[in-house]
Structure 1
Amino acid sequence: MKKHYDAARVKREVPLEPIPAEVRAQYLRPGELLAIQEQFPVAYQPLGTLEWHGRHNPLGVDSLKAERLCLEAARRTGGVVMPAIHFAADAHWDAGFGIGYGMDATAGYALPGSFYSIDTKLFAALLENACRNYLSRGFRLVVLISGHNPSIQQNVIDEVCYRLGREDGMEPVVFSMDYTLMEPDDPLRASDHAAAIETSMMLHLHGDRVNMATNDGHEREHLGVGGERPYSAATAAEGELRLQRQVDGLVRFAGGRYARMLSFDDSYEG
């Protein structure tokens, strides 16, 4: 059999269906997927973690942020949202208790619920293979969006995007942190770890899963939490505003990168 994706044969044997309201890959039928790809062949890949985000937040904060951001953008632009990847890159560092991994370093011990650790090279290989899968079966652009924001995450994924770049200079895989999708001069363009910013996002997205009272009476109230403003300053209204601005930014980012690819290919072929 042929090793490459035979789009012509697929088209003959898998009839297109009407484009659905659903954008999540795992819920789409093949004919719906093909119809979406024909209109806007872009795969959104949310990246996050299962990780301690204070006593008061759910473990999936990073993934939940990235997934909802991708869903809202795809509903406006078209495209397909892949299931979130919960492994991520993080750094070992010393916050005064000896060297620890990620936010464990701020606690002085391994915090419960942090299940995202993976060898950095393996993480990069996972992302690269996922993107190659998407690009080999009908997608022309992959947009990676991370709700997990340490600099090492940025560095690893930037390298993945570079390795997947085409010889002609075009980039079929692009990446952004969630918060950097906001305009550069936006005063809300910032992130934290389980403090006012991320807790605001959770109050908006999944308020029933936030419980501030879990910190009451503890000497280390802010255990494994980091940010300029305390989690107690969080509001659902702030979380909603942040999400709206990030979605607007992702719509611009994905639409602009896809338009650039079309223009580049047209000029290259011409």
Structure 2
Amino acid sequence: MSKVKEAINMTRDEVQAAIEEYPVAILPIGATEQHGHHLPLGVDIYLAEGISKRICERTGALLLPALPFGYSWVWRDIPGTISLQQHHVEAIIKDVAHSVNRYGVKTLIIVNGHDANNASMKYATRELTDELDMNVVYLFYPELESMMAKHCESKTWHGMIHACEIETSLMLALKPELVNMSKAVREYPEKPALYGKSSISLGQLSKSGVYGDATLASKAKGEKLLESFVEKMVELVNSVSENSK
């Protein structure tokens, strides 16, 4: 594995040399929002950045600074939450893409740690296709359901993960000092009939902020999940970056 090329710690000359050697950049994006009483607000940032660093180690891609804010409307009343409007997240992604493309990046990989950013990534990528001669790929926990079935004991809350076994396990593997398992809980809130069809939000349903079973999390599970996600993402990055050389 090679040393991670972190753009924020490099000089302009080092960045130029890195791009000339391998014109691929990775942008981690996350959110600053509640993740129950046992996890920090920065879970989505830490996970996106941690996965991105491992992808960079194995590919030689340039690591861009992580975007720490996302679309977090559902938690907007909880202290510490910072929420951008959905179209602002999309605009920031596009601005980053236009910026790095100007000095030679041919492929931008967006690694997301926050489910609600997925729509912004999708539509930004579509618009960029018509604006730039550059590959843009967006990734969010590939094959999540099968990975969870293989490595975890609990089920998702209607296909969604939040402060649950999977995120808590990943945090135990990446940032164990920020996890307080004595406060971890299991909660599967009832899903109202109008959820997803009205303004009823996650912030109104869960008492703990957990959607799933965080009590079953472990570092061992997190390390297996992390390796599985990274391995799959590296395959995807390599497949698209072949066109960037």
Q: Deviations over 1:23-72 (max 9, x none)?
A: 11111122322222122111100010111001111111001001011111
What is the deviation of 1:145?
0.8
Q: Deviations over 1:80-125 (max 9, x none)?
A: 11111122124xxxxxxxxxx4246xxxxx222212x112222211
Distance 2:144 2:22 in 1: 24
What SS does the aligned partner of 1:164 have? Answer: helix
What is the aligned partner in structure 2 of residue 70 from structure 1?
A: 52
What is the aligned partner in structure 1 of residue 20 from structure 2?
A: 38
- Which among 232, 240, 243 is matched to residue 257 of structure 1? 240
Counterpart AA for 2:162 = H
Alignment pair present for 1:247 and 2:230 = yes
What is the aligned partner in structure 2 of residue 202 from structure 1?
A: 171
Distance 1:52 1:160 in 2: 26
Cα pair 2:108 2:134 within 8 Å, conserved: no
- What is the 5 A alignment of 1:118-137? 118-137=84-103
What is the aligned partner in structure 2 of residue 114 from structure 1?
A: 81
When residues 124 and 167 of structure 1 are mapped into structure 2, their CA distance, relative to the original with a 3 A threshold, is closer
Identity %: 28
Distance 1:64 1:204 in 2: 11
Alignment pair present for 1:159 and 2:123 = yes
Distance 1:155 1:135 in 2: 22
When residues 191 and 31 of structure 1 are mapped into structure 2, their CA distance, relative to the original with a 3 A threshold, is farther
Cα pair 2:32 2:70 within 8 Å, conserved: no
- Which among 206, 210, 225 is matched to residue 225 of structure 1? 210
Cα pair 1:161 1:171 within 8 Å, conserved: no
What is the aligned partner in structure 1 of residue 109 from structure 2?
A: 143
Distance 2:183 2:206 in 1: 9
Cα pair 2:4 2:63 within 8 Å, conserved: no
Alignment pair present for 1:193 and 2:159 = no
Cα pair 1:43 1:82 within 8 Å, conserved: yes
Cα pair 1:166 1:172 within 8 Å, conserved: no
Cα pair 2:184 2:214 within 8 Å, conserved: no
Counterpart AA for 1:81 = L
What is the aligned partner in structure 2 of residue 51 from structure 1?
A: 33
Q: Deviations over 1:205-248 (max 9, x none)?
A: 111111123469xxx99611112xx1110000011111111111
Distance 2:75 2:208 in 1: 9
What is the deviation of 1:22?
3.8
What is the deviation of 1:255?
1.0
Select the structure of larger CA radius of gyration: 1
Q: Which runs of 5+ in 2 are unaligned?
A: 152-158, 186-204
What is the aligned partner in structure 2 of residue 16 from structure 1?
A: none
What is the deviation of 1:146?
0.5
- Which among 235, 241, 252 is matched to residue 218 of structure 2? 235
What SS does the aligned partner of 1:194 have? Answer: coil
Alignment pair present for 1:172 and 2:135 = yes
